[in-house]
Chain A
């Protein structure tokens, strides 16, 4: 187990290192001169030369990469070209909103997805199962920005049930989170409900389930108590991946509903060519993504004793 953990950690570190390299290459390819961007177009050459020296932009690329890594390890992501604010604190400020939205969306999607999936198997009807799979294919095919538009049009503007944009911290803000949360949760909901149903259906065919039927145990007990736990492993992977994706930025949803998270910050910075913020968010999101994926991997042996035995 310890060896497995160690290997996993080493691998994650390696991936993070190559992510940093890719980010570095990206920031090198980006069509900008950081020194000029910091001082503005009218700055004179000697001042720009000075900044270049200070940022070590005159050094060879490997040295620059080393400097970049050193800054990263200190958690220094630089300053925004436009607002001149520290990128790290900008991200920290915005992450709370993204976190809330992601957790809301994934909680709703998980609870509804597993219930709907189990219910479809419980009914034991091909029609219900087939309509669930068709619906999930349809849901998974609607791009989230178009879905957000439809949701805000019908529920927000047409029925006027909920506000279509706004943000307020604390419990008062709950009415603002519902529309973006639903929009964001539809895709994971489709995946989770479908996967739960298809895994459950496989398990219902197995001998031990049939044995329990023969003992006269009720169908709902078998589905919920016996089969569901065994069906959970791939579902947990999907939930974990969704959390990782949602946490690393829900650009479209945050953009449409003006939700002040890192997704919105990222889109704004991309549109304004604010490169330190762009690379900072890329690095941060990739880190969140990799760490959440690692946690999900470590969860598997806890849930499934068979995997524990394999290790």
Chain B
């Protein structure tokens, strides 16, 4: 395993652990306004400096990780649930009307520019952590469905499925007890590969003011607020930005390594 992959896994693991209990790492509350501390540069007192109303940037970065991970996780669970269900049925009933309908729905979602669709749905639903989760989740499932579908199609022709069918097992049990366990790994890999994108989309939405509502800390929002102070207080936007890039990069590296191993094994 390459050194980068190990670093990426360690980084994500630490960030995930920290975002479970942020108060163990930082004594500051993320929304604790302290006007005397306004725009103080990084120092032992404020590790990453403080922002335009004196909130501790380090605390906000850590709590921002929490929002990011929560949304990415929730959105991916929704995508996975929809993607797997559509993909499995569409693949198993290949060339049947079920497959035609599913493929058409997938193509329609594919025909929509991804970001535009997500923003339109968030605009319709309004801001809020669970709403962003839903918005990203119901747009992002198409990739998982596509991979699951093609995997199921290739498995439906295999001997073990034909044997199970000749024994008289029902379609349902063949699908869920025999095919699904064999195809779920590749769907999971696509899911993990997608994590970085979801984190980026969430940050982008928050950057535009359509994401996590204030005062909850979020990296995108911090970058947005910090951009007006970038020449005087670079730490306000650059430090959360670095964390954002590191997180996306780590997810991408992990996803790539998994994909490489998986194709090699096949």
Interface residues of B in 57-110 (CB under 8 A from A): 104-105, 107-108
A141 to B11, CA, bound (A): 15
A side interface size, CB within 8 A: 46
Contact B223 A149 (CB under 8 A): yes
Contact B123 A30 (CB under 8 A): yes
Interface of B, helix, strand, loop or mixed by DSSP: helix
Nearest chain A CB to B200 CB, angstrom units: 5
B249 close to chain A: CB less than 8 A:
yes
Interface residues of A in 111-164 (CB under 8 A from B): 134, 137-138, 140-146, 149-150, 153, 157
Q: Which residue of A lies closest to B123 (CB)?
A: A270
Nearest chain A CB to B239 CB, angstrom units: 11
Contact A15 B107 (CB under 8 A): yes
B203 close to chain A: CB less than 8 A:
yes
Nearest chain A CB to B193 CB, angstrom units: 12
B14 close to chain A: CB less than 8 A:
no
Cβ proximity bits B111-146 to A, threshold 8 Å, 1 near / 0 not: 111111101110111100000000000000000000
CB < 8 Å neighbour of A143 from B108, B203, B210, B238: B203
Are A142 and B245 also in contact (CB < 8 A) when A31-B124, A149-B230, A270-B123 are?
Answer: yes
Cβ proximity bits B166-205 to A, threshold 8 Å, 1 near / 0 not: 0000000000000000000000000000001000100110
Are A19 and B108 also in contact (CB < 8 A) when A248-B116, A285-B116 are?
Answer: yes
CB < 8 Å neighbour of B113 from A14, A153, A248: A248
B209 close to chain A: CB less than 8 A:
yes
Q: Bin the interface of chain B by size.
A: 35 or more
A16 close to chain B: CB less than 8 A:
yes
Nearest chain A CB to B237 CB, angstrom units: 6
Interface of A, helix, strand, loop or mixed by DSSP: helix
A286 close to chain B: CB less than 8 A:
yes
Q: Which residue of B lies closest to A252 (CB)?
A: B204
A47 close to chain B: CB less than 8 A:
no
Q: A-side interface residues toward B, CB under 8 Å?
A: 11, 14-16, 18-19, 22, 26, 29-31, 134, 137-138, 140-146, 149-150, 153, 157, 244-245, 248-249, 251-252, 255-256, 266-267, 270-271, 273, 278, 281-282, 285-286, 289-290, 293
Q: List 8 A-B contacts (CB under 8 A).
A: A14-B104, A18-B104, A18-B105, A18-B108, A140-B252, A146-B244, A157-B230, A245-B113
The 4 closest A-B pairs by CB, nearest first: A18-B108, A141-B249, A248-B113, A15-B111
Q: B-side interface residues toward A, CB under 8 Å?
A: 4, 104-105, 107-108, 111-117, 119-121, 123-126, 196, 200, 203-204, 207-210, 220, 223, 227, 230-231, 234, 237-238, 241, 244-245, 248-249, 252-253, 256
